[in-house]
Amino acid sequence: MRSDFLPFTKPLITDEDINAVVDVLKSGWITNGPKNAEFEESLAAYTGNKYAVSLSSATGGMHILLKALKIGPGDEVITPSLTWVSTVNMIVLSGATPVFADIDRDTMLVTPESIKSCITSRTKLIIPVHYTGVPVDLDGIKAVAGNIPVVEDAAHALGAFYKEHHVGHGGTAIYSFHAIKNITTAEGGMFVSDDAKLTAAIKQWKFHGLGVDAFDRQNKGRSPQAEVFEPGFKYNLTDIAAALGCSQLSRIDEINQRRTKLAMAYREQLADIEEILPLQLPQHYDFKHAWHLFVVRVDSPKMGRDRFMEKLKEQNIGTGLHFRAVHLQKYYRETMGFTPGSLPDTEWNSDRICSLPLFPAMTVKDVYDVINAIKKVLVNG
């Protein structure tokens, strides 16, 4: 057994990152300023989008996206139930109704077919999730969406490519830089888009609803002349965080290569362990995986997922759970009346999934430790 605990994730902060943050602290300009501008420009260049707006979190971004699209009571928003609760919470807080598209049992991605079956005359927005860092079938989803906007939840997907382009290309996506994501600013997020009007609305909602007219824009905004166009929120990122983001972003390809190498080692080692099922990867389109998470399904007659996680912890191996289906959580059960059986493939996975350790400072030897611990736990029960 390992002598030290292997967490399921750990941010990789280099001396370069630390120096970048210290430089901002010494610069005399610590909140929204030049580092935010640099972070936005670099990220837009990386994803190939026209615009990027930095945010204090992806959750904040989802909140103001719904405001910017004027989504409220009577409207429906389609998203999977197997996602982080924040998206669904924001839909509910906007007054709209979340409509849950079931996922494919093997890839755990929402499909064009499942989304199509949820579309009604009230559907105002579709938010697919590139779960674990695998792109959903964007062409298929956009085809069934028609004129309904599609905004990608790309919290897991920095460095993920769908066919020849980065996800979000030509459209709109929201990234998260929470501490567990592929790059981090501790807390933070980014809205990226090719839609100028939507981007302008997001900028306004993000900072008190202050309007920036042509004159202000020439003065780079926020001039004394800026005034409230509509009461807004305060979801800006600090330059301290943005400096960390710039430094991390410069290493994204290296980080994801490392993640890929570890994921390949897992897949190879897990191939002959029958009770542990890694996710299947999409077969009918080309993609590049960002390997944000390594999720497996525990499908054993001997033990359930919760016990499997406890037993691995006793072996000094940490795990995570991404995610418990949202529709069966207390509030959603009680207010929307969801009962087990409403989303069969979501629920089948929600009961079985667990995320194995995956972070760039890990070694292949750590992967072998996880595999040995899994084998031991499955034999001993």
Ligand X SMILES: *Cc1c(COP(=O)(O)O)cnc(C)c1O
Active site residue 302: no
Q: Please identify which residue in 149, 171, 189, 320 interacts with ligand X, judged by CB under 6 A.
A: 189
Instruction: Output 178 or 327, the one with its CB closest to ligand X.
Output: 178
Instruction: Output 84 or 308, the one with its CB closest to ligand X.
Output: 84
Q: Please identify which residue in 90, 96, 129, 241 interacts with ligand X, judged by CB under 6 A.
A: 129
- For residue 323, whether the previous peptide bond is cis, meaning omega lies within 30 degrees of 0, is yes
Q: Please identify which residue in 49, 111, 176, 355 interacts with ligand X, judged by CB under 6 A.
A: 176
Q: Residue 349's closest CA among 78, 108, 86?
A: 108
Specify the stretch interacting with ligand X by CB under 6 A; choose among 5-13, 81-89, 93-101, 238-246.
Answer: 81-89
Specify the stretch interacting with ligand X by CB under 6 A; choose among 6-14, 53-61, 106-114, 253-261.
Answer: 53-61
DSSP string, 312-354: HHHTTB--B-----GGGSHHHHHHH---TTSSHHHHHHHTTEE
DSSP string, 217-269: HHTTS--TT-EESS---B-PPPHHHHHHHHHHHTTHHHHHHHHHHHHHHHHHH
Which residues inside 136-165 make contact with ligand X, applying CB under 6 A?
153, 155-156
Residue the block writes with tokens 């920036």: 212
Cα–Cα distance, 326 to 352 (Å, whole number):
15
Cα–Cα distance, 135 to 225 (Å, whole number):
43
Judged by CB under 6 A, does residue 54 bind ligand X? no
Q: Please identify which residue in 20, 21, 24, 58 interacts with ligand X, judged by CB under 6 A.
A: 58
Judged by CB under 6 A, does residue 319 bind ligand X? no
Judged by CB under 6 A, does residue 355 bind ligand X? no
Please, what is the minimum distance in Å from the beta carbon of residue 224 to ligand X?
32
Cα–Cα distance, 109 to 111 (Å, whole number):
6
Specify the stretch interacting with ligand X by CB under 6 A; choose among 2-10, 55-63, 242-250, 273-281.
Answer: 55-63
Judged by CB under 6 A, does residue 236 bind ligand X? no
Cα–Cα distance, 288 to 162 (Å, whole number):
7
Instruction: Output 58 or 109, the one with its CB closest to ligand X.
Output: 58
Instruction: Output 21 or 58, the one with its CB closest to ligand X.
Output: 58
Specify the stretch interacting with ligand X by CB under 6 A; choose among 19-27, 73-81, 83-91, 368-376.
Answer: 83-91
Written as six digits, the tokens of 204 are 């306004």
Instruction: Output 114 or 176, the one with its CB closest to ligand X.
Output: 176
Instruction: Output 86 or 269, the one with its CB closest to ligand X.
Output: 86
End-to-end CA distance of the chain: 16
Q: Among the options 35, 181, 288, 311, which is catalytic?
A: 181
Please, what is the minimum distance in Å from the beta carbon of residue 295 to ligand X?
12
Which residues touch 43 (CB under 8 Å, ≥6 apart)? Answer: 52, 175, 190, 192, 245, 249
Cα–Cα distance, 223 to 207 (Å, whole number):
13
| Catalytically active residues, by annotation | 181
Judged by the rule CB under 6 A, the positions of this chain that interact with ligand X are: 57-59, 83-84, 86-87, 129, 153, 155-156, 176, 178, 189
